[in-house]
């Protein structure tokens, strides 16, 4: 009987829960679909701010003016009258009670505070500290909930109600902005049109009459008779942001004020600030021309601005370090006073990164360069530079605090950058030893162990386990290891020079083969004033050994149509090369909220020593495969934010690799080939399975199969992607990928050769959509891609949109790509 009553009670609870869930989803559905109208929440006499637009602006883009809207219209989906964000907000609002949140907050504070007090009375300070951290986190959550509402309210947005006062405020803001850009005679007004069933949607049009913009026809300086300051300003005039013939632009004046401040501080004017710079505008009442005076005001109670020369430079290398019973030692070196408890760094090397010297005028640029280059050494926790004018002397004090000598870092994660197969765990570990020999070197021992589910190379339908292990020992020096004079090395120090040496071992174990690679490298890196990064590898030597399983070896011999690339790549090989990487990150690409881009140039030449006759004639060892090749590529990426929380991103990648010489036998090392397809390439194709050209493997029935990776010697890839924030942590994307790989010779693969008269017909195109979940510390990406244009099909049948399916038919269902971070 009790058991029956128990079942009845469980059934009753479950039924109530189901009814509540049904009611909740009905409510969400009703609110969501009524939000399609967008006016169901309006009160009497209220109008929905449905749309705002700007007309009449010919010289200033609408995107810049849109940011001046005091009130924004609600976001909609695909320009339809659907606003799920309002729906989310209204759902959350129905379940939100501010008084209840306040009560819950107060109750939580009282409970945790009581527990903290009990822990302190019991002298359990660790527990009290943990409870205090817990209380702080709880209070932060409650504060967010009280300020921004519950989760649904934060996902959504309140309804935008038209307000004439707000519209007038926007009009005034546009008027001020136009005047700040030199359109002093501009006129701005707005009109409202009402549409909808009950005329309850307001569409605002801001009408601008620009008229002519005012030009600066004359720019002159007034330094109050200070000839030195006048010569400084005139000498730097060519870089001025305000010149005769330019349109008047108030933002340019602000930037010019900052530029003048930096110029003065670079020329010894330590106490100079932008507040001393004044702009006076003289307008011609009969024309749209104006004269601009740049006035340098004098400091209070002084006739001229003072120029400061450094009397002493002091460098304390071990701030926050204490040695009991002893005081710091003083040791002058190259006119700088070094202070330390124990000598840890070679002063000759450290001195190269200091650009401040007694007897020279104070320079802001040299100060920042010193701070930046000392920080680049990765030796110090912080680098501070302070100037002291007490006692009549001008003294530069450099303070640094050393980082821990040994730094252990590790990472445990899951490799999910696959299109098919299974993700697998990996573990990275790194031990860094700073300054092991006193010359400010960095020695690092790193390793990686990873497992991953992959498709069998000879049978794509089977998923197997691959094991990857890697160990590397590197030593980095903070200068060029090259016979250069001390003065020349100091000049090069502005480039953040590094000499990198390393030796490593890679091991891969798959069911088909075991492969090992012993690697050694030596090279330089530096960065110029324009922030171009150069990475020059003088030599990169690889000794590769492979052990093939018998079944896989037999499969390679049967795949004659594949050519010799794969089979030769598993021969014992000696691969040597030299390369250079040149890259630049414009406006902090990958992190900035404004337009940014990234470009990288890469060039590599392999087997250089084999071009020396003395060496090539003495190679008689047939047990090793040797290679000679040339390789180069360009990779360009950019993204452009637009509208509200939307971004347009674009990528372009082109490259070529060409074997040469008798040793190569017209074949590249396998790692030097290009591949297309996969989550960071053409996403509608499986990883490394696209191409080359119009070639594709087929089975006996003529169906396409993608059993083997498809290497190429020429690559072209481009991607376009529109990204948009959907709700809080969730972003959406629509993308279009295009590209392929080709070969210089056919190698038994019909249609694989690159030819100018047909390559554009062999560019594969894929499209799809994606979802990205932002966890703040990483972005998990899901991309669903369809083949739109397949060059492997016969001409005239390559557009495949009519064959799209959900996986019920081969090749033209969606390809799921899972990855970490954005594809580019």
Instruction: Say which residues have a Cβ less than 8 Å from residue 737's Cβ, sequence separation at least 6.
Output: 681, 682, 683, 684, 717, 718, 719, 765, 766, 767, 785
Higher pLDDT, 81 or 525: 525
pLDDT at 126 over 60: yes
Helices H, strands E: what count in the chain?
Answer: 15, 30
The reported pLDDT for the residue numbered 232 is: 93
CA-to-CA distance for 822 and 590, rounded, in angstroms? 9
Give the residue from 740, 735, 727 showing the smallest Cα distance to 824. 735
Contacts of 150 (CB under 8 A, 6+ apart): 92, 95, 96
Please write the tens of the pLDDT for every residue from 334-346: 999 999 998 889 9
pLDDT band at 419, cuts 50/70/90?
A: very low
Lowest mean pLDDT among 20-24, 433-437, 530-534, 680-684: 20-24
Give pLDDT tens digits for 3-52. Answer: 444 444 554 555 555 555 555 555 555 555 555 555 677 888 888 898 99
Using DSSP's 3-state secondary structure scheme, residue 118 falls into helix
Higher-pLDDT residue of 85, 218: 218
SS3 assignment, position 671: helix
| pTM exceeds 0.75, yes or no | yes
The percentage of residues in the chain with a pLDDT greater than 70, rounded to a whole number, is: 88
pLDDT of residue 296: 94
Give the tens place of pLDDT for each residue, 574-583. Answer: 889 999 999 9
Q: Within 10 A of 383 (CB to CB), how many other CB atoms are there?
A: 20
> What homologous superfamily is domain 312-402 in, according to CATH?
membrane protein fhac (3.10.20.310)
At 657, the pLDDT band (50, 70, 90 cuts) reads very high
- Where helices occur in 236-274 by DSSP H, the ranges are 250-266
User: What tens digit of pLDDT does each residue of 364-381 get?
Assistant: 999 999 999 999 999 999
Q: Where are the alpha helices (DSSP H) in 434-514?
A: 486-492
H or E segment and range at residue 443 = strand 442-455
* CATH code that applies to domain 215-296: 3.10.20.310
CA atoms within 13 A on the CB side of 392: 0
What is the predicted pLDDT for the residue at 4? 44
What local confidence, expressed as pLDDT, does residue 301 receive?
A: 78
Mean pLDDT of 251-273: 95
Residues forming a β-bridge with 516 = 507, 545
Look-up of token digits 């693969």: 749
Residues of the chain with CATH 3.10.20.310: 215-296, 312-402
Per residue in 492-506, pLDDT (tens digit) is 888 999 999 999 999
- Percentage of the chain lying above the pLDDT 90 cut: 50
Computed over every residue of the chain, the mean pLDDT equals 86
Mean predicted confidence (pLDDT) in 196-206 = 87
pLDDT at 26: 52
Task: Locate 541 and state its tokens.
Answer: 């030597």
Confidence label for 80 from pLDDT (cuts 50, 70 and 90): low
Q: What is the CATH number of domain 612-663+673-824?
A: 2.40.160.50
**Of 472 and 36, the one with more pLDDT:** 472
When mean pLDDT is compared across 144-153, 162-171, 203-212, 434-443, the lowest value belongs to 144-153
Q: How confident is the model at residue 518 (pLDDT cuts 50, 70, 90)?
A: very high
Q: 46 or 324: whose pLDDT is higher?
A: 46
């Amino acid at each position: 009987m009790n058991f029956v009553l128990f079942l009845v009670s469980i059934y009753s609870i479950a039924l109530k829960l189901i009814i509540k869930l049904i009611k909740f989803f009905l409510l969400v559905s009703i609110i969501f679909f009524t939000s399609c109208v967008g006016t169901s929440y309006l009160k009497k006499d209220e109008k929905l701010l449905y749309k705002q637009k700007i007309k009449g602006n010919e010289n200033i883009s609408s995107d810049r003016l849109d940011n001046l809207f005091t009130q924004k219209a609600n976001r909609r989906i695909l320009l339809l009258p659907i606003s799920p964000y309002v729906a989310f907000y209204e759902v959350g609002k129905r379940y939100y009670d501010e008084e209840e949140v306040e009560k819950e907050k107060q109750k939580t504070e009282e409970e945790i505070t009581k527990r903290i007090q009990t822990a302190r009375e019991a002298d359990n300070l660790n527990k009290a500290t943990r409870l205090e951290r817990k209380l702080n986190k709880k209070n932060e959550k409650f504060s967010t909930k009280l300020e921004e509402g519950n989760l649904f309210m934060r996902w959504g947005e309140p309804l935008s109600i038209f307000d004439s006062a707000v519209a007038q405020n926007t009009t005034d803001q546009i008027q001020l902005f136009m005047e700040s850009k030199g359109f002093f005679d501009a006129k701005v007004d707005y009109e409202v049109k009402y549409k909808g069933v009950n005329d309850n949607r307001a569409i605002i049009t801001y009408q601008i009459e620009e008229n002519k913009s005012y030009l600066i026809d004359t720019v002159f300086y007034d330094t109050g008779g200070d000839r030195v300051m006048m010569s400084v300003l005139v000498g730097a005039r060519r870089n001025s942001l305000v010149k005769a013939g330019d349109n008047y632009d108030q933002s340019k004046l602000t930037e010019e004020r900052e530029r003048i401040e930096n110029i003065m501080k670079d020329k010894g004017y330590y106490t100079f600030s932008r507040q001393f710079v004044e702009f006076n505008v003289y307008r011609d009442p009969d024309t749209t021309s104006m004269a601009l005076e740049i006035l340098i005001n004098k400091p209070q109670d002084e006739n001229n601005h003072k120029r400061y020369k450094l009397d002493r430079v002091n460098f304390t290398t071990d701030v926050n370090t204490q040695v009991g019973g002893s005081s710091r030692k003083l040791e002058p070196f190259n006119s700088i006073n070094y202070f330390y408890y124990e000598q840890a760094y070679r002063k000759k090397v450290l001195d190269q990164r200091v650009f401040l010297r007694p007897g020279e005028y104070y320079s802001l640029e040299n100060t920042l360069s010193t701070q930046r280059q000392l920080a680049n050494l990765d030796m110090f926790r912080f680098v501070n530079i302070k100037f002291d004018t007490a006692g009549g002397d001008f003294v530069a004090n450099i303070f640094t605090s050393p980082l821990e000598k040994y730094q252990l870092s590790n990472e445990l994660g899951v490799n999910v950058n696959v299109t098919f197969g299974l993700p697998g765990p990996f573990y990275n570990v790194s031990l860094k030893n700073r300054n092991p020999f006193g010359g400010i070197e960095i020695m690092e021992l790193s390793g990686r162990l990873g497992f991953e589910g992959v498709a069998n190379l000879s049978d794509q339908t089977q998923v197997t386990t691959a094991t990857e292990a890697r160990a590397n020992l590197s030593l980095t020096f903070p200068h060029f290891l090259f016979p250069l004079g001390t003065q020349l090395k100091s000049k090069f120090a502005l480039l953040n020079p590094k000499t990198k040496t390393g030796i490593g071992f890679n091991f891969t174990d798959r069911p088909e083969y075991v492969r090992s690679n012993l690697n050694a490298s030596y090279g330089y890196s530096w960065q110029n004033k324009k922030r171009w990064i150069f990475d020059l590898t003088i030599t990169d030597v690889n000794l590769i050994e492979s052990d093939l399983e018998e079944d896989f070896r037999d499969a390679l011999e049967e795949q004659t149509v594949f050519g010799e690339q794969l089979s030769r790549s598993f021969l014992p090989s000696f691969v040597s090369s030299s390369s250079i990487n040149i890259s630049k990150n414009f406006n902090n690409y990958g992190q900035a909220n404004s337009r940014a881009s990234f470009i990288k140039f890469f060039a590599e030449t392999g087997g250089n020593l084999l071009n020396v006759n003395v060496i090539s004639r003495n190679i008689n060892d047939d047990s090793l495969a040797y290679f000679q090749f040339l390789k180069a590529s360009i990779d360009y990426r950019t993204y452009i934010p637009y509208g509200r929380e939307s971004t347009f991103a674009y990528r372009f990648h082109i490259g070529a690799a060409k074997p040469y010489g008798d040793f190569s036998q017209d074949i590249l090392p396998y790692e030097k080939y290009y591949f297309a397809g996969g989550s960071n390439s053409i996403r509608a194709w499986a990883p490394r399975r696209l191409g080359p050209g119009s070639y594709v493997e087929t089975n006996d029935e003529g169906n396409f199969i993608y059993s083997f990776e498809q290497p190429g010697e020429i690559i072209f890839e481009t991607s376009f992607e529109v990204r948009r924030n959907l709700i809080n942590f969730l972003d959406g994307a629509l993308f279009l990928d295009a590209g392929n790989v080709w070969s210089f010779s056919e190698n038994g693969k019909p249609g694989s050769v690159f030819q100018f008269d047909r390559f554009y017909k062999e560019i594969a195109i894929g499209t799809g959509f994606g979802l990205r979940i932002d966890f703040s510390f990483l972005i998990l990406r899901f991309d669903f891609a369809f083949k739109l244009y397949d060059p492997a099909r016969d001409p005239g049948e390559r557009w495949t949109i009519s064959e799209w399916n959900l996986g019920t038919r081969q090749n033209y269902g969606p390809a799921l790509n899972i990855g970490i971070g954005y594809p580019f």
